[in-house]
Structure 1
């Protein structure tokens, strides 16, 4: 094997699809490609974003534990969506404002710039741009 395969999909567990699915629908600006029960204890809603990456929301039949998401816990830290420039980050900040989605300021670093925000369950999300040339 000469190259590592690209990312295929990300599956996020949510507490309530009736809350999370409309939020992601507004963020992505599209309808899900899949919205189905895969077995009696799992429902998933999936969007195709960017260059074909699948972002799935899973709601399990067993309720989620009551604690809030924390990027400090072992497991997921955040999911980042790549954009081309810092100007695109500024446009996304304006779009998040339109959607009433709280977000941080754009943070610039030597490795790129990021705009952080959270979904209804507190999952950490980010738009990320490479450093300016």
Structure 2
């Protein structure tokens, strides 16, 4: 029983229309599912991914209009990475970000990979990382856009960074409960702070890593727009999902219990520093209720919400996406 890598990250946005423009037009991701937040059906939930909605390529957003800003701190998923093929791709993206006025840094080394940090319009801290033929979790299938050559397209999720005040409790859950392995460390680019520690699972590589940043000087995060709500890790099938549910019980970790999300099954729990983790199945996937060719073009509802479609649509604000 082993987690395969990153499944998805879920982020908060206050402007879904502008969010759609940024993640599809600027970053070239595909909107693979337009649905609702199942815990609050008056709010949209948008899923961006590769061409096929492959697990491990998904960046999702909860739409909460008028949401306040995020105040950075500890107990936070502080950065989210996106994979590209190689270092030449970073040069393409640097020029593209300049064209679109995207706030960005210089290309720098992180965990021995070339990387380019940037921010979206709500301050979400993102990093492009270059694979450069590194072995590990397989990349996704790039989504075709005329203005982004396929060889430079984003091909999946890369490492997430967890910023915590005290690292040991988080590391304990990652290694003892979830089976992650220590894979090294690298210097902080933020100043004279402890090195970031790298933990990996499954086949390894950038699609299977969690980086731990220790910042005892910061207050606790206050999440708002642009903040990352949770990170999910890949469970290959329902059999192992059931085993993970039992494992969380064995370790007496308070958790959500089994949650049916229709496109995947989920388990939620908070690690000791308060960061929300999710374990999600790869199956059945986003094509369960829409043809692969037309995913994301209409409001999709899981079967258990479909009988309430009219009521749900009446309460949703109009969302005009091109």
Q: TM-score, normalised by structure 1?
A: 0.80
In the TM superposition, structure 1's runs of 4+ consecutive aligned residues that sit over 3 Å from their partners are: 35-39
With over 3 angstroms needed to count, the CA separation of the structure-2 counterparts of 1:43 and 1:65, relative to structure 1, is same
In 2, Cα distance between equivalents of 1:44 and 1:100: 28
| Gap runs ≥5 in structure 1 | none
In 1, Cα distance between equivalents of 2:235 and 2:179: 16
Q: Does 1:64 align with 2:214?
A: no
In 1, Cα distance between equivalents of 2:238 and 2:251: 20
Q: Tell me if structure 2 keeps the 8 A contact 1:116–1:125.
A: yes
In 2, Cα distance between equivalents of 1:30 and 1:113: 21
Q: TM-score, normalised by structure 2?
A: 0.36
* Greater RCO, CA 8 A, separation 6+: 2
Aligned length: 129
**2:271 equivalent in structure 1:** 119
In 2, Cα distance between equivalents of 1:20 and 1:28: 11
Q: Deviations over 1:59-78 (max 9, x none)?
A: 02x523146x65xx331111
In 1, Cα distance between equivalents of 2:203 and 2:154: 17
Per-residue deviation, 1:35:
4.3
SS in structure 2 opposite 1:120? coil
Question: What is the root-mean-square deviation in Å for CA atoms of aligned residues?
Answer: 2.4
Q: Tell me if structure 2 keeps the 8 A contact 1:36–1:44.
A: yes
**2:177 equivalent in structure 1:** 27
SS in structure 2 opposite 1:51? coil
The equivalences for 1:43-122 within 5 A come to 43-52=195-204, 53-60=208-215, 62-66=216-220, 73-74=224-225, 75-122=227-274
Per-residue deviation, 1:50:
2.5
Q: Tell me if structure 1 keeps the 8 A contact 2:180–2:201.
A: no
Per-residue deviation, 1:25:
1.7
Q: For the pair shown, which has the larger CA radius of gyration, 1 or 2?
A: 2
Q: Tell me if structure 2 keeps the 8 A contact 1:81–1:128.
A: yes
In 2, Cα distance between equivalents of 1:108 and 1:89: 12
SS in structure 2 opposite 1:33? strand
Per-residue deviation, 1:37:
5.3
Q: Does 1:131 align with 2:284?
A: yes
**1:6 equivalent in structure 2:** 156
Per-residue deviation, 1:123:
0.8
In 1, Cα distance between equivalents of 2:275 and 2:269: 8
SS in structure 2 opposite 1:91? helix
SS in structure 2 opposite 1:5? coil
Per-residue deviation, 1:8:
2.1
